[in-house]
Amino acid sequence: MISRKFTAIAAGLTLTLGLAACGGEGAGSGTNNDTADKDPSELVVGVAMPTQTSERWIADGDAVKSGLENAGYQVDLQFADDDIPTQQEQIDQMVTKGVDALIIASIDGTALSTQLDAAGAANIPVIAYDRLINGNENVDFYVTFDNENVGVQQATSLLVGLGLMNEDGSEGDAEGPFNVELFAGSPDDNNATFFFNGAMKTLQPYIDDETLVVQSGQSEFGAVATQRWSQDEAQKRMENLLTSTYNSGDKVDGVLSPFDGISRGIISALEGAGYATDEMPVITGQDAEIASVKLINDGVQFATIFKDTRKLADQAVDAASTFLEGSIPEPNDTTSYNNGVKDVPSFLLESDIVYKDNIAALLVDSGYYTQAQVDAGQ
Ligand code: BGC
């Protein structure tokens, strides 16, 4: 292990170079001279997570907290019940209490400018976690997945489920036409448009040649978005679609869903309208939530996207400690994520499509879930 002293010297050097390289950025440029001289146990990292209603954010919060604690830091972890004022207040308090770094998964990516201004003024490095924070220069680093590719994978799994494509990407035997409906995520979450655009890029040729038919005619982001990623909202919209568009015996063949909670809302609506569990349309998802993994195993939901939150947490912890040691973390993407003020240096991770036949390989063998959890759905 590299000694603390060496790290401090290296950090000092990098700091000098780093400041020279990005001279003029001023407060919030991401390095904090003071922290490099301190032991991690004297430093506190504030971690702001959006909600505990979805299990992925609980897993993210736990993984970030334990990663930081293992590196020796103190952690102030807060969840905000998907309520914007609560999250603003939590971050305000973290800044007031003088945390040394912030890791933030925002609820509304445009609602934190006051908090980020304060963090910048206090020279607290800010890492946007999974969701980009928009409209402020004091976002020093962004750790996330390749969000557009997540959307491509969601659309790909829809095409595979319908038989239009094989899992290896080759053309499938089915011909269509198929009735599909589209759902997108929350309009205030920057990721939602990335997922939807990635998916639509993949689906559009099939829509153009009428292999896929969006019977409701609702295919613009604004019409298909789901505020706060709400399962109930999704269920209501699906119920409305079924009564308004599929009341004369037409069946829905596929539903593009951007998140497992939304998928479960869609499934409830379909069940309510008389679809048996073994005649569900092809339904996609995201996050590999355990309840949905069981539904995939049982053949009710078709697929989900696995984003390994352990790896994302590791990246966030690495980025935070790098800043706290006085250096700048290394991005692997500097062009994809502009937050309206600047291109935010980002580290993007890859995701995987989970089908029934690779649940064991992706989720059980990697230790993300046990087989017993998959069987029980919890
Ligand atoms: C995340 C997704 C998640 C969604 C709803 C997005 O920002 O990237 O993984 O499904 O929020 O929580």
List, for residues 110-132, the tens digit of each pLDDT value.
999 999 999 999 999 999 999 99
Q: Are 104 and 126 in contact (CB under 8 A)?
A: yes
Kindly tell me the burial class for residue 210, based on how many C-beta atoms sit within 10 Å of its own C-beta (0-12, 13-18, 19 or more). Answer: exposed
Return d(Cα 50, Cα 190) in angstroms, integer.
14
Return d(Cα 307, Cα 317) in angstroms, integer.
17
Architecture of domain 16-139+309-349: 3-Layer(aba) Sandwich (3.40)
Nearest CA among 56, 313, 273 for reference residue 185 = 56
- Cα 273 to Cα 193, 230, 239, 247, 251: the distances in Å are 29, 20, 8, 10, 11
Among the atoms of ligand 1, which is closest to the Cα of residue 286?
10
Return d(Cα 26, Cα 29) in angstroms, integer.
6
Return d(Cα 71, Cα 81) in angstroms, integer.
28
Among the atoms of ligand 1, which is closest to the Cα of residue 258?
10
Q: How confident is the model at residue 7 (pLDDT cuts 50, 70, 90)?
A: very low
Residue nearest to atom 3 of ligand 1 (CA): 259
| pLDDT exceeds cutoff 60 at 37 | yes
Return d(Cα 151, Cα 197) in angstroms, integer.
7
| pLDDT exceeds cutoff 90 at 62 | yes
Q: Which of 56, 60, 262, 354 to mutate to test the pocket of ligand 1 (most atoms within 8 A of CB)?
A: 56
Residue 288, number of CB atoms within 10 A of its CB: 26
Distance 259 CA to ligand 1 centre (A): 7
List the strands of the sheet with 44-49, edge to edge: 74-79, 44-49, 101-104, 126-129, 141-145, 346-349
Q: Give the CATH fold of the 147-307+354-376 domain.
A: Rossmann fold (3.40.50)
Condensed to tens digits (0 to 9), the pLDDT of residues 247-279 reads: 888 999 999 999 999 999 999 999 999 999 999
- Return the SS3 of 254: strand
Token digits of residue 248: 């004369």
Return d(Cα 146, Cα 25) in angstroms, integer.
27
- pLDDT for res 33: 62
Return d(Cα 119, Cα 169) in angstroms, integer.
46
372 against 30, higher pLDDT: 372
Token digits of residue 235: 């269920």
Nearest CA among 303, 313, 276 for reference residue 358 = 303
- Ligand 1 pocket, residue 60 CB under 6 Å: no
pTM for this entry: 0.91
- pLDDT for res 30: 53
- Ligand 1 pocket, residue 264 CB under 6 Å: no
- pLDDT for res 51: 97
Extents of the domains making up the chain? 16-139+309-349, 147-307+354-376
Residue nearest to atom 9 of ligand 1 (CA): 287
- Ligand 1 pocket, residue 347 CB under 6 Å: no
- Ligand 1 pocket, residue 189 CB under 6 Å: yes
Residue nearest to atom 5 of ligand 1 (CA): 229
Distance 264 CA to ligand 1 centre (A): 15
Among the atoms of ligand 1, which is closest to the Cα of residue 229?
5
Among the atoms of ligand 1, which is closest to the Cα of residue 190?
7
Return d(Cα 105, Cα 79) in angstroms, integer.
10
Domains 16-139+309-349 and 147-307+354-376 share a fold: yes
Among the atoms of ligand 1, which is closest to the Cα of residue 189?
7
- Ligand 1 pocket, residue 286 CB under 6 Å: yes
Residue nearest to atom 4 of ligand 1 (CA): 259
Q: How confident is the model at residue 27 (pLDDT cuts 50, 70, 90)?
A: very low
- β 304-306/352-354 pair status: antiparallel
Among the atoms of ligand 1, which is closest to the Cα of residue 57?
12
Return d(Cα 71, Cα 321) in angstroms, integer.
8
